[in-house]
Structure 1
Amino acid sequence: MSRPLIYLITTAGIPNYGDELIAMAWLRHLARERPDADVLVDTVRPSAAAETLAGIHPSVRFTSTLWPVALLSPSWEAADISRFAASIVADPARLAEVEERFKLLIRPDGIPWEASPDSVLAGLEDLVSAEVVHMVGGGYLNGIWPVSLGVTAGVGAALQRGAGRAVMTGEGIGPYDAGATDVIRGLIEPFTLVDVRDTVSAEVAGLAAAQVTCDDVFLDLGPELYATHGKYDVVVNAQADHGASVEGLTEFVVSALSRWKVEPGRVAFVECRPGADDAVYKAVAQSLPEVAFVPVSEVLADGLPAGPGVRWISTRFHPHLVAAAAGSPGVAISVQPEYYDAKHSSLIALGSGWPMLTTLSDPVGWPEGEGFDQAKLKALREQKVAVAERVYGTRRASA
């Protein structure tokens, strides 16, 4: 008798700290609750995802199937990429019409996409046989990355071909323009469960308040995510993508460290996305060479440096979430208001205790507070576990 297949769709493997954490959380949950199933993780870069995620579930494999299908679209307009991806999933023989385009699948960092016509065909066969197709959370459903619309459309087409159920959890949806908003609302209609992490996402997708919970990382927060070694008094994550000002962030951080009278040797910069999170560090290190740099590989392996005695500055969402959960007070900086305001504001609304800055011109005082209250974290985890049980049930219930 064949084993049931669970098909997870994620952007892990870029790599990006938050995306890796979300995928890890669901794989750990499935290892506990669904060890009977095979799990196929559809991601942007399977080999990199496997370095972090392999072995978490006893029967996990990795593919890149729906992502390259969407990328093969001749047009990235919302309606066009959605129709194209859905048509390929509905009739995989159509891949022959765009086979030459596989040669063009080169990531922005110059790495060839890990996909071929044969691997995509095999992945599509797995997709349509899945018991559950699960788009795990993250901030990828928006107009910045229109390819995600094609992925979502592909899931809908898979349902038409026999896939069991489609769900999405912990999604951050938007921003989209008006036309793309209509497209995403239509694409999520076949999903039996749609769960988002903030009220702005619910408004964009036209969802009810009951469909708003929290980020998927709350499903599996635990001490393994925190590095409480006490090496640092201040930890910074400062990105250079999403229109962030490297010069402005550099000046802000140097000024804050001086005003807070922090020894540079007690300061660390944490990388979340390689290639996007070292520019500010390098600029600060020109004047403060003692500051440390912690690569994302070390953060994922050893935990995020955080805890009650560690102050934080973060432009990214998931360091804000995890550091506040560990008890760190901090400051969030929104470098792209239309994208990051909703993300950071959602954590503040849940009780992180961090202020959010939308300008770098105002001085900020020494962060105070204790991050998330432990009772609140327990409630958020229970809320997320309830979502997981709606998707996968429990071992007790299935025994």
Structure 2
Amino acid sequence: MAHPVIYLIGTSGHPNFGDEFITAAWLKYLAERAPQADVWLDCPQPGSSSTLFAGMHPRLNVTDTLWRAVSESCHLPADQIGPRVRELVTNLGSPAYDLGLLKLRDARSLHLLGGGYLNGVWPHHFALTEAMLAVKEMTGAKLYATGHGLMPAVTEPADPKAFFRDFDYVSVRDKDSARAYGVPLGIDDAFLGANAEIARDTPDAEGLFVCIQSDMTDTETFEKTIASVRPIIERAISAGKQVSYVEAIPGIDHAAFARLADLIPGERFIPFAHIWQHGLPLSAQQEWVTTRFHFHLLASAAGARGVALGIRPGYYDVKHRSLIELGSGWEYIGADENAASEPVTPAGGNLSSHLQNLNARKRAEADRLYPAPPPGSQSQDRRGGSGTLLGRLGSARRR
């Protein structure tokens, strides 16, 4: 019996907590929904991803085929990257990973997992959609994209709606993306796994939690953000609260901790590896100050109050405000504002009050993409061609 092939494309493996969390949520869902499927995860860092997601799906394979095709085309002018990747997918011509390109033709579906990696910051990543469209033209595979943040919008092509033409299902997580690209508004993919994360046993989850990133911003904004957070930490300490620092990206998020180490003791630094293995400390008794979007999402989902700090206008402000519009109850303070005078106070409500509904929405979306097979049914092989591998290679090159 042939196993159906589900092909996932995401930006996991860096590692970055939010990207890894989304990928893990989908893998765990598919382990429950489609345990007999061959799941392929195409990501920039397959080595670390193999470790991060080990055991999350019984038939998981990890590769970097499409990400490699994109990265190795980045020397070209911007308007040639997509066509070059499409050409590789259709006609091969990259012997080092032609076998990976052929594997795409076995997929029933290709799914671009959610996140904030398709936008004007990394416009070349849209070549991934060109690759997916090329596969659909050859095999009829279904194309999905869920929970994306597409802002800031790309400036080329003139009509960004063309990127998702012929996709079978698309959703984005913020209103600006929905308007700019003409696609339906949904919610972030992390809501698929939020319930399970909150349910993990994470003791010592009280007090003030801090995370300030040093990437995706300039030196001046980074320094200003650290300076503005200091009074918040000092007030918490004066009130007898425990202060902890949580790392979303190893190293990148440690830079701010090093600058705040006179206020936060080393034993209260919680590295990425710890939260990945043991869970993000979450509770309704917390307060948060963070620039990280998915810490905002999960902490509010657990009932915590907090302040989200902006460090890149047009990117992080859109992300954080999408959660505030959902009802996170957090304050948002932009990069040009001063956080020092702002206590960590709730604006009213939090995502925990309607988390079950948000989870149900995301679960319904997932079920729509991956319907349960009828009882007693057997998987059917829908590979894009038959015969020997040599024959398939030859057929592709004659196109």
TM-score range, shorter chain: 0.7 to 0.9
- The residue number in structure 1 matching 2:50 is 50
Rounded Cα–Cα distance in structure 2 between residues aligned with 1:274 and 1:181: 37
1:138 pairs with 2:115: yes
Rounded Cα–Cα distance in structure 2 between residues aligned with 1:74 and 1:393: 37
Cα distance change of structure 1 residues 233 and 44 upon mapping to structure 2, 3 Å threshold: same
1:171 pairs with 2:148: yes
- The residue number in structure 2 matching 1:149 is 126
User: Cα offset for 1:290?
Assistant: 5.3
Whether the 8 Å contact between 1:308 and 1:327 is mirrored in structure 2 is yes
Whether the 8 Å contact between 1:267 and 1:291 is mirrored in structure 2 is no
Rounded Cα–Cα distance in structure 1 between residues aligned with 2:268 and 2:361: 37
Deviations 1:288-330 (A, max 9, x none): 5457211111111111122111110110110000111111100
User: Cα offset for 1:220?
Assistant: 2.2
User: Cα offset for 1:253?
Assistant: 1.8
- The residue number in structure 1 matching 2:187 is 214
1:380 pairs with 2:353: no
Tell which structure's C-alpha radius of gyration is larger.
2
Rounded Cα–Cα distance in structure 2 between residues aligned with 1:260 and 1:91: 61
Cα distance change of structure 1 residues 181 and 19 upon mapping to structure 2, 3 Å threshold: farther
Deviations 1:321-347 (A, max 9, x none): 011111110000111111011100110
Rounded Cα–Cα distance in structure 1 between residues aligned with 2:294 and 2:76: 28
User: Cα offset for 1:80?
Assistant: 1.8
Whether the 8 Å contact between 2:202 and 2:278 is mirrored in structure 1 is no
Deviations 1:134-191 (A, max 9, x none): 0010000012122311111111111122151111111111213432462x42121021
Whether the 8 Å contact between 2:308 and 2:320 is mirrored in structure 1 is yes
User: Cα offset for 1:368?
Assistant: 3.2
Cα distance change of structure 1 residues 8 and 74 upon mapping to structure 2, 3 Å threshold: closer
Instruction: After superposing the two structures, state which structure 1 stretch, 345-354 or 292-301, moved more.
Output: 292-301
Which SS does the other structure have where 1:337 is aligned?
coil
Aligned ranges for residues 213-252 of structure 1 at < 5 Å?
213-225=186-198, 228-230=202-204, 232-244=206-218, 245-252=221-228
Rounded Cα–Cα distance in structure 1 between residues aligned with 2:89 and 2:326: 39
* Structure 1 spans left out of the alignment, 5+ residues: 97-116
Deviations 1:70-121 (A, max 9, x none): 111154654321111111111112x26xxxxxxxxxxxxxxxxxxxx1xx22
Whether the 8 Å contact between 2:207 and 2:241 is mirrored in structure 1 is no
Instruction: After superposing the two structures, state which structure 1 stretch, 170-179 or 346-355, moved more.
Output: 170-179
- The residue number in structure 1 matching 2:16 is 16
4+ residue segments displaced more than 6 Å = none
Instruction: After superposing the two structures, state which structure 1 stretch, 315-324 or 146-155, moved more.
Output: 146-155
Report 1 or 2 for greater relative contact order, CA contacts < 8 Å, sequence distance ≥ 6: 2
Whether the 8 Å contact between 1:344 and 1:356 is mirrored in structure 2 is yes
Cα distance change of structure 1 residues 262 and 329 upon mapping to structure 2, 3 Å threshold: farther
Rounded Cα–Cα distance in structure 2 between residues aligned with 1:223 and 1:4: 27
Rounded Cα–Cα distance in structure 2 between residues aligned with 1:396 and 1:260: 56
Rounded Cα–Cα distance in structure 2 between residues aligned with 1:370 and 1:329: 9
Counterpart among 181, 189, 193 of residue 205 in structure 1:
181
User: Cα offset for 1:223?
Assistant: 4.2
- The residue number in structure 2 matching 1:101 is none
Give the length in aligned residue pairs.
372
* Structure 2 spans left out of the alignment, 5+ residues: 378-399
Counterpart among 293, 314, 324 of residue 269 in structure 2:
293
Aligned ranges for residues 336-351 of structure 1 at < 5 Å?
336-351=312-327
**Alignment-mate amino acid for residue 268 of structure 2:** A
Cα distance change of structure 1 residues 287 and 354 upon mapping to structure 2, 3 Å threshold: closer
**Alignment-mate amino acid for residue 128 of structure 2:** V
Aligned-pair identity (%): 34
Deviations 1:242-295 (A, max 9, x none): 115332122122111123345798211111112321111100114554572111
Whether the 8 Å contact between 2:174 and 2:186 is mirrored in structure 1 is yes
User: Cα offset for 1:222?
Assistant: 2.2
**Alignment-mate amino acid for residue 58 of structure 1:** P
Aligned ranges for residues 46-195 of structure 1 at < 5 Å?
46-75=46-75, 77-93=77-93, 95=94, 117=96, 120-180=97-157, 182=159, 184-195=160-171
- TM-score, with structure 2 as normaliser: 0.87
Q: RMSD of aligned C-alpha atoms?
A: 2.2
Deviations 1:39-76 (A, max 9, x none): 00000101111111121111001000111101111546
**Alignment-mate amino acid for residue 140 of structure 1:** Y
Cα distance change of structure 1 residues 188 and 73 upon mapping to structure 2, 3 Å threshold: same
- The residue number in structure 2 matching 1:26 is 26
